[in-house]
Amino acid sequence: MIDLSFSEDRLRTNYIPSENEVKAIKQLLAAPSERLAFLDGEISRVQTLLDKLSHERDTLTESISAHRALLSPARRLPEDVLREIFLHCLPTTHNSVMSEYAAPLILGQICSMWRSITLSTPSLWASLHVSVPALSHEVETATDPHLLNKAVQGWLTRSGICPLSISIACSKFRSADIETVNLLIRTLISYSARWRDIQLFIPARAWSLLSEISKESVPLLEYAALDGYNGPFVGGVPLVSNNDWTSTGLFTAKGLRSVFLARVEADPINLPVSWSQLTNLCLKGDEEWGTVGLSTSAALEVLKKCMNLRKCNLQMIKLEIDIPLNAATEPPLVLPHLETLSVTESTYGDALELFSRLDLPGVRCIRFYTQPTIPTPLTEHPVHASIITLLQRVPHIESFVLDAHAMPAGDIVECLRTIPSIKHLSFTSYDALAYREGYLGSGDYWDYPYFPTSDARTSPVNNSILELLTPSRENNGRCFCPLLEVFECNQGDFSDAALLAFIRVKNEGTYEGVSKLTKVTVSFPRTKELDIENAVLEFSAGMKIKIYYRPAFRDFTNYSPWNGLRYGGETPWPIF
């Protein structure tokens, strides 16, 4: 090491050296400068050698990787096996979306062979979901409707002769371009001979095109889901008259098994539907638009024709003004095959009379939703007596979904007291299920967290309700719903501690006759109090648990190919 010694107290200061000191400093720096130049040369030489070795290593690595890739088992898979794998990549709870990040489009981006197989496999293109851009969306298809239509045509062309599952959804929050919608509907109608499942969530101004469909043009149709939602800026009531609908061949398909109608100006009783062959039925109106809704007598008239129903979803909008005098003496309507019944009581609707006239020996799942109720002279009974009446008539149900946000706590307690055999209990808001789950999907209720728009802290589903579901020593291990295995709630006003205690006691296995929980999903519109998910690990092996807290704001106006699906910002199709 070369010694560079010069009064340390003068270095890194403003000291001005004398002439003699300048000469001394220059002599002092001669040897170190030589050494520095030598080191720079060595570093350059070594760096050159390092770069050469690195380049050789990278070349070898690339060559070895390329050769090893040839040994990949995936390369030796027969095409028919690859096709089967590709088919299993498709979504199972909704139709395929037009996104390069999802199958089948993403499969064609891997290599030329995969692209060739993808494009030559018609069944990969046999399902399609089309999210129609709103007028405000700054995407190219919003300004040129022909681009989206051309993409849809290209997709369906690849489907060969396969039966088609198609869904199209316009935004619930922004107006869609009617020209885009009309172009898409015309394109879809040209493929109607291969429709198997058709789901349309479009403005009413486009419905006239569907009225031209003949019975012969939909020979394969099994599922028809139609919603005449107009969007917030289109306004007005649907423009499709009763005559338009009763003349369409859409509901006369020989294989039609499921019908979903919402916000459509058509009396369901007058539709030329082969009611006796239906296994799924959903009828919904809309109070705000004055669309056709169901009264007790109308619902009964429809149900009398549907003796093979397995799943039924009804929205009661109209109060019964003229109840027939012989109604009380009529025998109850028996629906022997019905397994799932979903009913929504609207502001002016009441399902008590309907429930009183039904005999449902096979029902195992009840879903009951409410909207704010306005008292009237015709409703002398308690507001929510209808659901209690229904539960008393079908006490052996296994699944119960209840919108409890507007119900008194006493009614909730009475409901739980009436259904000791349930295994699945869900306190879920009306809005959570009305536009969320895919029409064709049979998956869980909670594929993504739903947070209620109202303040859940006003909910009657509080600590007291959880305590009733929790076995305790004071009650000798007794509790409501002892066989409960699945618990879901987005209306809870209970604490994290109460939820944790409920899960712990249920899963400790201390009390005989009390089932352990297998799945818990809860959404809180507040911040976290306890780390429940980690706390339950020690006593909940195998249990699925999801706890959600205060969400970030979601901009529903952003365009996404997933809009209109259960995983997207909007999901128009209610479950049966």
According to DSSP, residue 524 is labeled -
Q: What is the pLDDT of residues 510-558, one digit of tens each?
A: 899 999 999 999 998 888 998 888 888 887 788 999 998 875 445 555 6
CA atoms within a 13 Å half-sphere pointing along the CA-CB vector of 109: 8
Residue 448: what pLDDT? Answer: 37
Q: What is the pLDDT of residues 154-199, one digit of tens each?
A: 999 999 999 999 999 887 666 777 788 889 999 999 999 999 999 9
Mean pLDDT of 60-86: 93
Rounded to the nearest integer, the mean pLDDT of the chain is 81
Q: Sort 114 into a burial class: Cβ within 10 Å, 0-12 / 13-18 / 19+.
A: middle
Least confident range from 228-232, 462-466, 488-492: namely: 228-232
Pairing mode, if any, of strands 486-489 and 424-427?
parallel
Residue 238: which pLDDT band, with cuts at 50, 70 and 90?
very low
In degrees rounded to 5, what are phi and psi of residue 68? -65, -35
Residue 563: what pLDDT? Answer: 74
Residue 119 has pLDDT above 60, yes or no: yes
Residue 6: which pLDDT band, with cuts at 50, 70 and 90?
low
Residue 378: what pLDDT? Answer: 44
Kind plus residue range of the DSSP H or E element containing 225:
strand 223-227
CB atoms < 10 A from the CB of 245, how many?
23
In angstroms, the Cα distances linking 393 to 332, 335, 364 are 11, 13, 12
Residue 136 has pLDDT above 70, yes or no: no
Tokens 């307690």 label which residue?
A: 413
Nearest to 344 by CA among 307, 313, 298: 313
Record the tokens describing residue 511, joined without a space: 């009390």
Q: What is the pLDDT of residues 322-377, one digit of tens each?
A: 455 455 567 899 999 999 999 988 766 678 888 989 999 999 999 998 765 554 44
Q: Residue 12: left (phi > 0), alpha (psi -120 to 50), or beta?
A: left
Cβ(255)–Cβ(274) below 8 Å: no
Residue 340: what pLDDT? Answer: 95
CA atoms within a 13 Å half-sphere pointing along the CA-CB vector of 100: 2
Please give the model's pTM, rounded to 2 decimal places.
Answer: 0.78
Q: Sort 464 into a burial class: Cβ within 10 Å, 0-12 / 13-18 / 19+.
A: middle
Residue-by-residue DSSP string for 343-382: EEE-TT---HHHHHTEE-TT--EEEEEE-PPPP-TT--S-
Residue 310 has pLDDT above 80, yes or no: yes
